[in-house]
Each structure stands twice: as structure tokens, then as C-alpha cells.
């Protein structure tokens, strides 16, 4: 199924109050992140959404490329949250929560959240999240949240085959990208409003319930060193709380975490 995403059709079934009121839909783009940044700088309002059928230079975390064929859902959200910069990283987890909830509501699948930026199904990555931040004075930030969701791919390139999956592969049938995007925008808006009201504990409880890592042993690559320990919690700033073998408790803001098998 090659479903063309149409801004008008998406908006017709959208019940959000501000997210997606403006949708910029493209056929092929280098990256929705770069286009969203440009649109934001030219005045695109809070809650604008940029989508592309496919990306020719999709960007992943750590400077990696993101495989973005036409079967996937490639989205960037433009936000201007008036929050202190240390609260911005929580938006990644909030996005992962919203993706998880949207998949759970539109399918029978049970995804989990892999701190800080991934959503997994049966241990394989179905969604990656890329927050691009520009913090400014007086808490006026520009945040572009990139969401790459593997929806209807029926295969992956060899280097991704072992670690990636799609909703189609998991369900053995294609699903509607339009319905999924509508649900995702609704879930995100609800969670974002809760976040702006500083009721983060409510979100954190849900995130903890879907967490892939809590109670497991992991390594976290911090570039300058690698930590190893048991994940005992996620805190209210979205940090991973690790108990190192020495007994020391360490809170990690960002890094690449892997299960120790």
C-alpha cells in the first residue's frame, strides 16, 4: 500500500486544538528537520507539522543517516515551549510516550520505550526520535521534534534487518499512515499540555510503565566513558537512574544505552 499523505485529509479527521492546524506536506525532501527549521525561522507557528513521503538525506542521532523510504512516516513538529532549557530533554521521552500510545490505540501491538529516544516492538526499533533544540534567552526555545516511524516497510537493508522492524512486519498487514498520524498528534498534544502545566509526574508514571530498561542491566556510552549498571528508575527530568556496581547512583541525561545480555 502506498498511501499518499494529504494535509487536508489528515486535518479533516484531526481533533487537536493546535497541533497540526498547519501541516506542510511534501513528496520528497532531504530532511523534514531542515525544512521545519527553515519554516520556523520564517514564522511557522507553534504546532506546525512537516511531513514528507520520503527523505533523501534523513538524519538520525549521532550524525547517522536515517533510512526513509516512502512506506514510512517522516514527521517534524515545530514547538516553541517557554520552559527552562534543562526541561527540554524530557520532550524526547514525551514523544516516545505519545508514539507508544498511538501505536497501542491503533493496533494490537505492545511497543516499549527505550530511553531516551526509541520505541521498540519485540526488542526491535520501530521508531526513532530526534530533538533539535535552539535555546534562547527568556525561556523562548525553538524545538523541532523529528519522528521517524517505520510503518509499512516489508523489508530493510541488510545493515538494519536485525535491529529494525515496522508495524507492517509485526502485524503482517499494512496500516493507514493517516490514521496513525492523527492519533499520534492527538496523543502528543495531550501529553504536551500536561508537560507545560508542569504535571510531569503523571507522564513519568506512564513512561515508567512502558519502559524497556527499568530493572535491566545496561551499558551507557557517554563518549568519554562507558557506564555499566542496573537501571533503577527514570527521574522527573527524564534522566536514566543507574546503580553502578560500586553502589553509586548516577543520573544520565543523554547517551546511547544498550542491554547487557
Positions touching ligand BTN (CB under 6 A) are 31-33, 55, 58-61, 64, 66, 68, 74-76, 117-118, 128-130, 146-148
For residue 261 the three cell numbers come to: 545480555
C-beta of 64 vs 251, nearer to ligand BTN: 64
End-to-end CA distance of the chain: 37
For the CB of residue 67, give the shortest distance to ligand BTN in the complex, in Å: 9
For residue 89 the three cell numbers come to: 530533554
For residue 39 the three cell numbers come to: 519554516
Distances, alpha carbon 159 to alpha carbons 100, 155, 156, in Å? 25, 11, 8
C-beta of 75 vs 169, nearer to ligand BTN: 75
C-beta of 93 vs 229, nearer to ligand BTN: 93
C-beta of 69 vs 81, nearer to ligand BTN: 69
C-beta of 51 vs 229, nearer to ligand BTN: 51
C-beta of 60 vs 81, nearer to ligand BTN: 60
Backbone angles phi, psi at 109, to 5 degrees: -80, 155
Burial of 149 (0-12, 13-18, 19+ CB in 10 A): buried
Asked whether 85 and 135 are in contact (CB, 8 A), the reply is: yes
For the CB of residue 42, give the shortest distance to ligand BTN in the complex, in Å: 18
Q: Which of 135, 123, 140, 111 is nearest to 216 (CA)?
A: 123
For the CB of residue 149, give the shortest distance to ligand BTN in the complex, in Å: 8
Phi-psi category of 108—alpha, beta or left, where left has phi over 0 and alpha has psi -120 to 50?
A: alpha
C-beta of 14 vs 96, nearer to ligand BTN: 96
Q: Which residue is nearest to ligand BTN (CB)?
A: 128
For the CB of residue 12, give the shortest distance to ligand BTN in the complex, in Å: 23
Q: Please state, in angstroms and rounded to a whole number, the distance separating the CA atoms of residues 17 and 8.
A: 16
For the CB of residue 201, give the shortest distance to ligand BTN in the complex, in Å: 27
For residue 109 the three cell numbers come to: 501491538
For residue 208 the three cell numbers come to: 515508567
For the CB of residue 147, give the shortest distance to ligand BTN in the complex, in Å: 6
Cis peptide before 116 (omega within 30 of 0): yes
For the CB of residue 247, give the shortest distance to ligand BTN in the complex, in Å: 32
CA 120 to chain centre: 11
Amino acid at each position: 500500500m502506498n498511501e499518499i499523505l494529504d494535509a487536508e485529509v489528515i486535518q479533516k479527521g484531526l481533533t487537536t486544538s493546535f497541533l497540526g492546524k498547519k501541516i506542510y506536506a511534501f513528496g520528497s525532501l532531504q530532511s523534514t528537520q531542515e525544512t521545519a527549521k527553515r519554516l520556523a525561522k520564517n514564522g511557522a507557528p507553534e504546532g506546525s507539522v512537516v511531513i514528507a513521503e520520503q527523505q533523501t538525506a534523513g538524519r538520525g542521532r549521532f550524525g547517522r543517516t536515517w533510512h526513509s523510504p516512502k512506506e514510512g512516516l517522516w514527521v517534524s513538529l515545530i514547538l516553541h515551549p517557554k520552559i527552562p532549557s534543562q526541561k527540554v530533554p524530557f520532550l524526547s521521552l514525551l514523544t516516545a510516550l505519545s508514539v507508544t500510545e498511538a501505536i497501542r490505540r491503533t493496533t494490537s501491538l505492545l511497543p516499549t520505550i527505550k530511553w531516551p529516544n526509541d520505541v521498540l516492538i519485540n526488542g526491535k526499533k520501530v521508531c526513532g526520535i530526534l530533538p533539535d533544540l535552539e535555546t534562547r534567552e527568556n525561556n523562548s526555545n525553538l524545538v523541532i521534534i523529528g519522528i521517524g516511524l517505520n510503518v509499512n516497510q516489508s523489508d530493510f537493508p541488510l545493515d538494519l534487518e536485525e535491529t529494525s522492524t515496522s508495524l507492517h512486519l509485526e502485524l503482517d498487514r499494512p496500516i493507514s499512515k493517516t490514521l496513525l498520524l492523527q492519533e499520534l498528534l492527538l496523543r502528543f498534544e495531550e501529553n504536551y499540555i500536561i508537560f507545560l502545566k508542569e504535571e510531569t509526574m503523571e507522564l513519568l508514571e506512564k513512561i515508567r510503565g512502558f519502559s524497556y530498561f527499568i530493572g535491566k542491566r545496561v551499558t551507557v556510552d557517554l563518549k568519554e566513558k562507558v557506564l555499566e549498571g542496573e537501571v533503577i528508575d527514570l527521574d522527573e527530568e527524564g534522566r536514566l537512574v543507574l546503580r553502578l556496581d560500586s553502589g553509586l547512583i548516577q543520573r544520565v541525561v543523554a547517551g546511547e544505552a544498550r542491554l547487557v545480555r
